[in-house]
């Protein structure tokens, strides 16, 4: 009989537990086993259900606490982690390598392979970890100082001149600036570390002179300047209309024009009309070239650069000269694009005044030579058209006005009686609403009424009566001469008279609530108001300067007296200009 006995249950269970790995026991599974082991209707099942619900809630709360703890741990880890440094990429010496500058110190760093090679551009900001490895690119810094370029060196580097007493800078170009054409005077933005030139800034001072559209002024909108218009049209339009004839005679086309005369007589309008007319001609020429009927100049459009003289003046040394240089460079750039640029400089005497031999600095001493040198770089009208406008041509330096630079001097005179009538016809047209009574009194036709109104205005202005007297001048010869309204009239004054009359008609319509037309009384009253309220005469102590605009040389005038209301009429001496 064998002495062996079957193993005890506890011993068998112990050996099995030691042989098998320990597993985590789920309380819910034990509860479910207990529920299945009890018969239905057992009172202990109700307690087990309550226990299962409590365990479920406890496990859900535990899981929620674990999620919150994980989030807090991540936040704490981010807050306690060392900050990544930001540097500037200077060069890519090899694959996976970068030369960077961080805090003024240079490093030869590794690049994370996950960083795309296309993002590694010289001048961009890079993110550097604790090991000084580039882990990310941040693009170009949007801030930084702006310096003016002194020289673009042949090897691509850029030299910048700083303020007096500070050293010059030589910087390398960013990746996006390598193929950009740069010239002296350009404004360049550099990175804050002063190591790389980042971006070429747009020069708003130069581009603002270029009008977005060619002026739409036509020759028909200018009245009373037939001689001046004919002279400038022949000089500008004929070379395009009769190119073969000009070439056959080997005619050297003019490249500069001077429009001079009293203010308000249409100098600016003539300059704009010249640009608009030429743009229209070249547009028609282009259409004819497309159809193959006529061969003309390949110019495709016009560009009008309108410059007011005082805008160029700048207090900083060399800045005005740079603006003149940029203006001509901008015009040449437009010419390369196929356009015919116009440079119209109004109030030219303010920047091109006569140079003076004096020890103190005068801006004309440097600005005029710069302008002359730029003009000498223009071959003919085919490159750039330069139009100067001035009320005082005697103040412009003779070097600017010599032949070869400003070849044509065209005087824009004050309108006479016939010219004033032509100017008024531009503003008083047949489509204006006229008073019905006026139309019936003037023949019953709108055109006749307009012509009659123009005659009335001309008679009111040019009639030599005591009410029309403005100024009396006494000449050195002993003779006295009285200047009337007609001697001081201009196109601007005539336009203002019509504008005043329209305001009266509009005000009458608004006040009465009924449609009202232009009356003869509106225009005649406007004539008196314009000459009475307008600043027609200068102060007596500055009359000698003003007299030059009337073709009366001050050296021939020894006394003046005014007929303006509220002023003494005794004669006052004129100070001579030496």
Residue spans per domain, the chain? 85-140, 146-201, 219-411, 417-573
CA distances from 131 to 72, 93, 122, 127 (A): 27, 19, 21, 11
CA distances from 412 to 14, 221, 419, 461 (A): 124, 15, 12, 20
The DSSP output letter for 477 is: T
CA distance 401 to 578: 23
DSSP string, 422-473: HHHHHHS-TTS-B-HHHHHHTTS-HHHHHHHHHHHHHHHHH---GGGEEEEE
Instruction: Please report how the helices 267-291 and 226-241 are oriented relative to each other, as an axis angle in degrees rounded to 10.
Output: 20
CA distance 420 to 407: 29
pTM: 0.64
pLDDT tens-digit series, residues 85-124: 999 999 999 889 999 999 889 999 999 999 998 999 999 9
Same fold, 146-201 and 219-411: no
CA distance 362 to 355: 8
- Following CA atoms 54, 58, 64, 68 in sequence, which dihedral angle do they give, to the nearest 10 degrees? 140
Q: Which two tokens stand for residue 571?
A: 């004669």
Whose tokens are 């002023």? That residue is: 567
pLDDT tens-digit series, residues 228-281: 888 888 877 777 777 788 888 888 777 788 988 888 888 888 888 877 777 677
Please check the confidence at residue 478 and state whether its pLDDT lies above 50.
yes
CATH architecture of the domain covering 219-411? 3-Layer(aba) Sandwich (3.40)
Confidence of residue 410 (pLDDT cuts 50, 70, 90): confident
Task: Report the top-level CATH class of 85-140.
Answer: mainly beta
CATH topology of domain 146-201: OB fold (Dihydrolipoamide Acetyltransferase, E2P) (2.40.50)
The helix (H) or strand (E) run that includes residue 539 is none
Exposed / middle / buried, residue 322 (Cβ in 10 Å: 0-12, 13-18, 19+): buried
pLDDT tens-digit series, residues 53-73: 888 898 899 899 999 999 988
- Could you count the other beta carbons within 10 Å of the beta carbon of residue 34? 15
pLDDT tens-digit series, residues 212-222: 456 777 787 78
DSSP string, 241-284: HTHHHHHHTT-----EEEEESSTTSSHHHHHHHHHHHHHHHHHH
């Amino acid at each position: 009989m064998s002495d062996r006995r079957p193993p005890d249950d506890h011993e068998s269970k112990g050996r099995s537990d030691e042989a098998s790995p320990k597993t985590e026991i789920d309380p819910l599974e034990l509860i479910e086993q207990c529920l299945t082991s009890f018969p239905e209707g057992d009172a202990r099942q109700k307690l087990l259900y309550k226990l299962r619900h409590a365990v479920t809630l406890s496990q859900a709360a535990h899981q929620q606490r674990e999620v919150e703890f994980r989030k807090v741990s991540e936040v704490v880890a981010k807050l306690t982690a060392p900050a990544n440094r930001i540097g500037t990429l200077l060069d890519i010496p090899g694959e996976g390598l970068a030369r960077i500058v961080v805090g003024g110190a240079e490093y030869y760093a590794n690049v994370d392979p996950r960083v795309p090679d296309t993002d590694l551009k010289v001048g961009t900001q890079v993110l550097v970890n604790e090991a000084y490895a580039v882990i990310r690119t941040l693009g170009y810094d949007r801030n930084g100082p702006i310096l003016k370029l002194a020289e673009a060196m042949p090897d691509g580097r850029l030299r910048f001149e700083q303020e007096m007493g500070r050293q010059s800078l030589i910087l390398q170009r960013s990746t996006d600036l390598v193929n950009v054409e740069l010239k002296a005077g350009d404004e360049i933005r550099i990175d804050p570390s002063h190591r790389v030139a980042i971006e070429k800034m747009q020069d708003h001072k130069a581009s603002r002179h270029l009008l977005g559209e060619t002026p739409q002024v036509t020759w028909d909108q200018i009245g009373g300047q037939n001689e001046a218009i004919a002279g400038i049209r022949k000089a500008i339009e004929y070379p395009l209309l009769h190119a073969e004839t000009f070439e056959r005679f080997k005619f050297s086309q003019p490249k500069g024009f001077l429009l001079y005369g009293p203010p308000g007589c249409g100098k600016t309008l003539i300059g704009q009309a010249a640009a608009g007319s030429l743009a229209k001609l070249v547009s028609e020429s282009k259409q004819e070239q497309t159809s193959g009927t006529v061969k003309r100049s390949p110019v495709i459009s016009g560009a009008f650069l309108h410059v007011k003289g005082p805008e160029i003046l700048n207090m900083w040394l060399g800045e005005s000269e740079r603006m003149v240089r940029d203006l001509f460079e901008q015009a040449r750039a437009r010419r390369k694009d196929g356009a015919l640029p116009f440079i119209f400089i109004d109030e030219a005497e303010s920047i091109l005044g006569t140079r003076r031999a004096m020890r103190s600095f005068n801006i004309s001493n440097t600005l005029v030579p710069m302008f002359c040198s730029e003009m000498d770089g223009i071959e003919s009208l085919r490159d750039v058209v330069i139009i100067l406008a001035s009320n005082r041509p005697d103040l412009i330096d003779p070097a600017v006005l010599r032949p070869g630079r400003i070849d044509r001097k065209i005087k824009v005179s004050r309108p006479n009686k016939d010219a004033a009538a032509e100017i008024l016809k531009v503003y008083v047209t047949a489509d204006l609403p006229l008073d019905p009574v006026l139309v019936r009194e003037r023949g019953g036709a709108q055109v006749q009424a307009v012509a009659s109104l123009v005659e009335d205005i001309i008679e009111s202005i040019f009639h030599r009566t005591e009410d029309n007297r403005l100024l009396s001048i006494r000449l050195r010869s002993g003779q006295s001469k009285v200047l009337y309204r007609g001697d001081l009239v201009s196109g601007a004054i005539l336009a203002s008279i019509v504008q005043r009359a329209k305001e009266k008609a509009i005000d009458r319509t608004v006040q009465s609530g009924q449609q009202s037309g232009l009356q003869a009384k509106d225009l005649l009253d406007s004539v008196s108001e314009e000459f009475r309220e307008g600043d027609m005469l200068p102060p007596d102590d500055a009359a000698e300067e003003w007299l030059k605009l009337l073709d009366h040389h001050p050296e021939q005038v020894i006394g003046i007296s005014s007929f303006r209301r509220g002023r003494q009429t005794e004669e006052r001496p004129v100070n001579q200009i030496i």
